[in-house]
Amino acid sequence: MDMTAVGSRLTLGEGSTPLVPARRLSQQLGLDLYLKTEGANPTGSFKDRGMVVAVERARDAGAVAVVCASTGNTAASAAAYAARAGLRAIVLTPAGAIANAKRAQALAAGARLIEIRGTFDDALRLCRELGERDGYRLVNSVNPDRVEGQKSVVPELLEQLGAIPDVVALPYGGGGNVSAVATGFAEAGVTTRIIVGQAAERATTWASAIRIGEPAHRENVEKLIAAGRVEVVTLSETELRDAWQLIATSEGVFCEPASAAGVAALVQLGVSGGTAVCILTGHGLKDTGAVADPAAEPVEPTLAAVLEAVG
């Protein structure tokens, strides 16, 4: 979906991401599975859909700076759109806990990136305070403009699929995306089973994008669960890693670790039959450190040596 539809002139071309039929995975899981590759957004994650709206509205309201707490992707997205809007971006991240490529993206766009000796939750608390200051605007997903842009993934995937999926699965970190997707379906007048995967080890998970102890949208997510609109699945580190590997090795789709939570949730529940869409929230290039690299010794430049290495 072209974000100019919601009046954005800051657009970098967010949305219109591929819906990839996952043929081999479908066979393995016994359902018709599609992958919505949100890593194809301009800064490599789903955050761009909402950030373009939030930053534009911040600028229109006279803000001079946008502030956010981030495990990396929000930072990269805020930095890019702030640069485009001529605003400062101030980003607080938990020290040493975000993937290098995400840091690089924020720095490249000129953001002021401040590492704090604390968690994402500490960073968000501080940003909420900063956001109260004159000229500063908080652009985390507790800002409703973010959710408004982010929900565009729903009409887009419905149009691409040309049908109503039986299941939609996605990661649950802070819950902004769960809220956005549930809102998107409600507004489309469509009922579907929404399954969200969270890390059991929330505060320390290997999937650094969802290393969030206390989800900001917990209350809303709990309401959605109580209303029977969302199911939460709690995932072990092994389940997350296995699903992430499976997506890449079965389909050639390289997403970042957190993005695999939707697929991991389907696997754990043993969902089968019908059509499922898994929203893969970020690109694998965001977090190449997650890939085990056996770093084998180089071989001699001879066919014999190469054949031996191929095995």
Q: Which residue is nearest to ligand F0G (CB)?
A: 173
Q: What is the sign of the dihedral through the CA atoms of 140, 143, 149 and 151?
A: positive
Name the minimum Å distance from CB 267 to ligand F0G: 17
- CA-CA distance, 216 to 70, in Å (whole number)? 12
- For residues 32 and 261, which CB has a smaller minimum distance to ligand F0G in the complex? 261
* Structure tokens given for 286: 């965001």
Q: Are 193 and 230 in contact (CB under 8 A)?
A: no
Residue position matching structure tokens 């534009």: 56
> Is position 149 an interface residue for ligand F0G (rule: CB under 6 A)?
no
Q: Both ends of the chain: CA-CA distance in Å? A: 47
Interface pick for ligand F0G out of 175, 197, 262, 284 (rule CB under 6 A): 175
Q: Closest approach of Cβ 61 to ligand F0G, in Å?
A: 22
- 42 forms part of the interface with ligand F0G (CB under 6 A): no
Residue 235 DSSP SS3 = strand
41, 43, 177, 192: which one contacts ligand F0G (CB under 6 A)? Answer: 177
Shortest distance in whole angstroms from residue 70 CB to ligand F0G: 3
Bridge-partner residues for 195, per DSSP? 169, 231
Question: With contacts defined by CB under 6 A, how many residues of the chain interact with ligand F0G?
Answer: 24
Q: Is 109 helix (H, G, I), strand (E, B) or coil?
A: coil
Q: Which of 17, 71, 105, 205 binds ligand F0G (CB under 6 A)?
A: 71
Rounded (10°) angle between helices 218-226 and 176-188: 40
**Segment contacting ligand F0G by CB under 6 A, of 106-114, 169-177, 226-234, 300-308:** 169-177
Residues of the shown chain interacting with ligand F0G in the complex, contacts defined by CB under 6 A: 45, 47, 70-74, 141, 171-178, 209-210, 212, 256, 258-259, 281-282
